[in-house]
Amino acid sequence: MPDPARFPRLPLLGLPTPIEPLAGLSRHLGKALRGVRLYVKRDDLAGFGGGGNKLRKLEFLLAAARAEGADTVITVGALQSNHARLTAAAAARSGLACELVLTRTVPRGDADYTGNGNRFLDALFGARVHERPGETDALAAAEARADELRAAGRGVYVFPSGGSSPVGCLGYAACAREILDQADAMDVRFTNILVANGSGGTHAGLAAGLSELGRDPRLARSYTVLAPLDWAVATTLDKANATLDLLGTGGRLTEAEIDVDGAHRGPDYGIPTDAMREAVRLMARSEGLLLDPVYSGKAFAGLLHDVRSGRYAAGEAVLFVMTGGVPGLFAYREAFAED
User: Looking at the annotation, which residues are catalytic?
Assistant: 81
Long-range contacts made by residues 180-187, C-beta under 8 angstroms, separation at least 24?
A: 180/213, 180/215, 181/16, 182/16, 182/19, 183/19, 183/319, 186/19
With beta carbons less than 8 A apart as the criterion, state whether 326 and 51 touch. yes
Other CB atoms within 10 A of residue 47 CB = 10
CA distance 90 to 48: 8
d(CA 5, CA 10): 11
Distance, in Å, from the CA atom of 219 to the CA atom of 73, rounded to the nearest integer, reads: 34
Could you give the residue ranges of the DSSP H alpha helices within 132-165?
Answer: 138-151
What does the alpha-carbon distance between residue 110 and residue 15 come to, in Å, rounded to a whole number? 37
Give the integer Cα–Cα distance in Å for 9 and 252. 25
Contacts of 115 (CB under 8 A, 6+ apart): none
Residue 60 and residue 170 in contact, taking contact as beta carbons nearer than 8 Å: yes
The one-letter amino acid at 213: L
Q: How far apart are CA 154 and CA 250, in angstroms?
A: 36
